[in-house]
Structure 1
Amino acid sequence: MQTETVTLAPFEAHHLDDALALSRAAGWPHRREDWEMIWSLSEGRVALAGDRVVGTALMTPLGDTCSAVNMIIVDESQRGRGLGRQLTTAVIELAGDRECRLTATSDGLPLYEKLGFVATHQIVRHQGFAGGVGAPEKVKWIGPDALPALKALDRAAFGADRGALYDALAKEGPFAVIRNGDNIVAFAATRFFGIGEVVGPVVAENAEQARDLIAFILSGKEGRFVRIDIPEQSGLSSLLEGWGLPHQGGVVAMARGATGGPRTPGVRTFVLASQALG
């Protein structure tokens, strides 16, 4: 039996429906709108068997120094042929000299290690139907005029410029903030995602601020399906479980060509925007 020829091509808008079908077959929760947001911020490659999309990979530039490698899927019929490696290598090349970050399942870990990625920490997924949570008075909603301040805080915590991501997030949902006087010192975002909603990113000076921001957002979502992805070291797992969001698995955060910064002491990322985008 002749092996079907597979070629790589730029990931274009007309590939999105096939990409969505691939992710659904893989058990991912993404809607078309979720794909569109990530794709709009990214460059990518698709694997084509004829006109059929049988693999995807994206590289999301995060300023000039960093990138997120994400949305790597290979159709079940094409697995075991090295296609995942080809797609990942192709989008690493798109990243140029940027540091590359990604999240890996246990199945993907050996491949990424061979490509030079090093595990940095665990990411824990919490999701479920939010319970009743009180809203702290110190947290307030803000408008898009505060985006420059939020971008600066995120850059300090993340170590790279994710301004384009924040422009996209501002179109998807609101931001909640904590102020010290006139200065915003911590914030959180929320938006629709998959079969429900997601909270993140959350950037704060300490776990108490992160807790208050999450509580404020969840106070308006009782009974709704909510997902929150946290670095294991954030220390928020038991709190989220108590609020009706049990631990539902996780992934390994990895980096290639990491520079180690520059991050600013005193502010941290307590919740990810998503596993795909960090």
Structure 2
Amino acid sequence: MDEFLQRESIVLAPFEAHHLDGAVALSRAAGWAHRREDWEMIWSLSEGRVALAGDRVVGTAFMTPFGDTCAAINMIIVDESQRGQGLGRKLTTAVLELAGDRECRLRATSDGLPLYEKLGFVTTHKITRHQGVTGRVDAPANVEWIGSAALPAIKALDSAAFGADRDALHDVLANEGTFAAIRDGDGIVAFAATRLFGKGEVVGPVVAANAGQARDLLAFILSGKEGRVVRVDIPEDSGLSSPLEEWGLRNEGGVVAMVRRAGARPHTPAVQTFSLASQAVG
């Protein structure tokens, strides 16, 4: 154990089930909306590290693998009493080691940006969070709810847009939420997922060929959520901010998408991600 951890009596350990309540308390103190169920979902897909001061959780970081080529680095949080002492760097470095040679993606706040740049991450684009009480939205006729039989098509579309295998994520989303889709003949050409999250519900991922399809998917799902708190995280340049604000989901700022060891994309995908499943997993 290095000198820093010995001096501060802080140890890093694998994240386990008995750390969940401490992690929830930590995130609530930081103003995060995550419920215990939201932590459990990410943990079920990830390997994590926890910083402990005695039995108290004072920091966390997770690595969510997407096959052998890509990973999301997420849930990096440090107790206010421990900030400014290098603990965030140690937690992030620990989960980067878990990622190995994978391309690593994360969403950074302005506070975390300098650290991630020092660790080799570069900015790719901005993500905007829209959240609020949903107003009246008219449902388009070209979208329908779909069941788990459509999962292979959903996984293929998501893999094309994201650039990596997120099959395990979609298995979890199928258990915890519902999917809507646009068909062209018998085939699914665009989809969106929705589930409970934080203060209400979240819509994402939304994968489509263009902003028009993405808007229709969002409108269809939001049409059934009038009066409910809904969150949607979108790339800043998606063209969806205006309709989301019209539907009651105000712009609440955002984060910066970053990547480390970016892998080459062989071609421009026919579909893209217009809304994230969450800031944690993209």
Q: Same fold (TM over 0.5)?
A: yes
Q: 1:24 matched to which residue of 2?
A: 28
Q: What CA distance in whole angstroms lies between the structure 1 residues aligned with 2:100 and 2:204?
A: 28
Q: Which amino acid aligns with 2:141?
A: E
Deviation for aligned residue 1:37: 0.3
Q: 2:3 matched to which residue of 1?
A: none
Asked if 1:214 corresponds to 2:218, the answer is yes
Q: Which amino acid aligns with 2:57?
A: V
Q: 1:202 matched to which residue of 2?
A: 206
Asked if 1:86 corresponds to 2:90, the answer is yes
Asked if 1:124 corresponds to 2:128, the answer is yes
Q: What CA distance in whole angstroms lies between the structure 1 residues aligned with 2:242 and 2:164?
A: 29
Asked if 1:54 corresponds to 2:55, the answer is no
Asked if 1:95 corresponds to 2:92, the answer is no
Indicate the SS of the match to 2:8. Answer: coil
Asked if 1:182 corresponds to 2:167, the answer is no
Q: What CA distance in whole angstroms lies between the structure 2 residues aligned with 1:166 and 1:108?
A: 28
Identical pairs, percent: 78
Match of 1:234 among 231, 238, 249: 238
Q: Which runs of 5+ in 1 are unaligned?
A: none
Deviation for aligned residue 1:262: 4.4
Q: What CA distance in whole angstroms lies between the structure 2 residues aligned with 1:127 and 1:262?
A: 35
Deviations 1:45-88 (A, max 9, x none): 00011111110000000111000000001001111110000000
Q: 2:115 matched to which residue of 1?
A: 111
Q: What CA distance in whole angstroms lies between the structure 2 residues aligned with 1:264 and 1:110?
A: 30
Q: What CA distance in whole angstroms lies between the structure 2 residues aligned with 1:98 and 1:25?
A: 32
Q: Which amino acid aligns with 2:31?
A: G
Indicate the SS of the match to 1:107. Answer: coil
Q: What CA distance in whole angstroms lies between the structure 2 residues aligned with 1:61 and 1:180?
A: 32
Q: What CA distance in whole angstroms lies between the structure 2 residues aligned with 1:269 and 1:59?
A: 21
Q: 1:63 matched to which residue of 2?
A: 67
Deviations 1:233-271 (A, max 9, x none): 211111111111110010000000001324653211011
Q: Which amino acid aligns with 1:78?
A: Q
Q: 2:78 matched to which residue of 1?
A: 74
Q: 2:172 matched to which residue of 1?
A: 168
Deviation for aligned residue 1:137: 1.2
Q: Which amino acid aligns with 1:126?
A: H
Indicate the SS of the match to 1:234. Answer: coil
Indicate the SS of the match to 1:273. Answer: coil
Q: Are residues 121 and 243 of structure 1, via their aligned partners in 2, closer, same or farther at CA, if it must alter by over 3 Å?
A: same
Q: What CA distance in whole angstroms lies between the structure 1 residues aligned with 2:216 and 2:96?
A: 38
Q: Which amino acid aligns with 1:276?
A: A
Q: What CA distance in whole angstroms lies between the structure 1 residues aligned with 2:279 and 2:10?
A: 28
Indicate the SS of the match to 1:125. Answer: strand
Q: Which amino acid aligns with 1:70?
A: N
Q: Which runs of 5+ in 2 are unaligned?
A: 1-5
Asked if 1:155 corresponds to 2:159, the answer is yes
Match of 1:265 among 247, 269, 275: 269
Deviation for aligned residue 1:209: 0.5
Alignment check: 8 A CA contact 1:133 1:219 kept: yes
Deviations 1:82-113 (A, max 9, x none): 00000000000000110000000000000000
Alignment check: 8 A CA contact 1:159 1:262 kept: no
Q: What CA distance in whole angstroms lies between the structure 2 residues aligned with 1:192 and 1:89?
A: 31
- Between the two proteins, the alignment pairs up a number of residues equal to 277
Indicate the SS of the match to 2:273. Answer: strand
Alpha-carbon RMSD: 1.1
Q: Which amino acid aligns with 2:52?
A: L
Q: Which amino acid aligns with 1:191?
A: R
TM value normalised by structure 1: 0.98
